[in-house]
């Protein structure tokens, strides 16, 4: 008879950054913040979208793109995960694709041994025209097509934690998260604009947690970047009932952490079995 192994509580951290155009400087900042997260007891750490490059121009990320499986940013993530013995979710990294003027905006996940365990390419590409603000990610990013779930395992975690991947603008598309369900945790590295973040960030994060009755870990860019753009920040950790467990209210880099209790998922899903009631 096979013994059932329960998931153990999981220490997580969301890293908030204000990345700039120089990859080396951004990696130094990320390393410092990862160290801080590890000192706080995190076993799973997530960096924000564009953590390694937030350029003066949208095309800057194309010029620093890496081939899949090789490059300084990918090596950095592998080394950091192995050095600290943690699960590391690399926000997003520009990876070469079939179009010379575009990149894949990829969330790369590394295990405690430094080996890459998953890659998710951002599916939904942000576009906004409101007054002087104009964004069109499709001009420099090739969209992904495949939802991705990764099982984070190890003796410190009991049974694997099933983690669904997404990036920023994906947050507005609940059908993506339904394709991932059921999961224990959703990771949403982001760089919401100040305008859209103020209006919708908390609302959307809490909605995805409530709909999927799971934890949400959302690291974000937050502050005034060298290119003049302001991102919303407010990196957050949300529980399966939609309660905000931790959130960074200030601009600027920093780390927030929490211990995720897997029994909270069971309590919510047993008391209100909405996932079991789905008919579509």
Which residues lie below 8 Å from residue 117, measured CB to CB, with a gap of 6+? 109, 110, 111, 150, 152
Per-residue CA distances from 243 to 238, 250, 278 (Å): 6, 19, 23
**Any idea which residues carry the catalytic annotation?**
49, 122, 168
Which residues lie below 8 Å from residue 114, measured CB to CB, with a gap of 6+? 78, 79, 81, 82, 83
Distance CA 267, CA 273 (A): 10
**CA-closest candidate to residue 177, choices 88, 238, 262:** 238
DSSP state of 113: T
3-state secondary structure of 95: strand
Per-residue CA distances from 29 to 24, 50, 101, 266 (Å): 9, 13, 28, 37
Per the CB < 8 A criterion, the answer to whether 91 and 108 are in contact is no
110-134 burial: b if 16+ Cβ within 10 Å, else e = bbbebebbbbbbbbbbbeeeeeeee
Per-residue CA distances from 48 to 123, 181, 218, 276 (Å): 16, 22, 8, 32
Q: Which two tokens stand for residue 100?
A: 């010379």
For 60, counting Cβ atoms within 10 Å of its Cβ (0-12 exposed, 13-18 middle, 19+ buried), the class is middle
């Amino acid at each position: 008879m096979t013994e059932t192994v329960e998931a153990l509580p999981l220490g997580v951290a969301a890293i908030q950054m204000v990345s700039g155009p120089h990859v080396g400087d951004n990696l130094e900042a990320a390393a410092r913040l990862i160290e801080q997260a590890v000192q706080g007891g995190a076993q799973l750490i997530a960096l924000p979208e564009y953590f390694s490059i937030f350029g003066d121009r949208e095309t800057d990320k194309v010029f620093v793109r890496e081939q899949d499986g090789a490059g300084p940013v990918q090596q950095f993530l592998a080394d950091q995960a192995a050095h600290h013995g943690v699960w590391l979710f690399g926000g997003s990294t520009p990876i070469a694709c079939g179009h010379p003027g575009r990149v894949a905006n990829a969330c790369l996940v590394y295990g405690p041994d430094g080996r890459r365990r998953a890659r998710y390419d951002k599916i939904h590409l942000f576009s906004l025209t409101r007054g002087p603000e104009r964004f069109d990610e499709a001009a420099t990013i090739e969209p992904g097509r495949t939802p991705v779930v990764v099982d984070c395992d190890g003796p410190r975690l009991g049974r694997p934690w099933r983690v669904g991947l997404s990036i920023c603008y994906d947050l507005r598309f609940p059908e993506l998260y339904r394709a991932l369900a059921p999961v224990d945790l959703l990771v949403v590295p982001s760089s919401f604009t100040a305008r859209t973040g103020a209006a919708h960030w908390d609302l959307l994060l809490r909605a995805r947690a409530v709909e999927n009755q799971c934890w949400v870990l959302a690291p974000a860019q937050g502050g005034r970047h060298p290119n003049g753009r302001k991102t919303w920040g407010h990196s957050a950790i949300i529980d399966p009932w939609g309660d905000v467990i931790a959130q960074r209210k200030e601009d600027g880099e920093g780390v927030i952490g929490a211990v995720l209790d897997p029994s909270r998922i069971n309590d919510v899903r047993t008391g209100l079995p909405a996932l079991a009631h789905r008919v579509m």
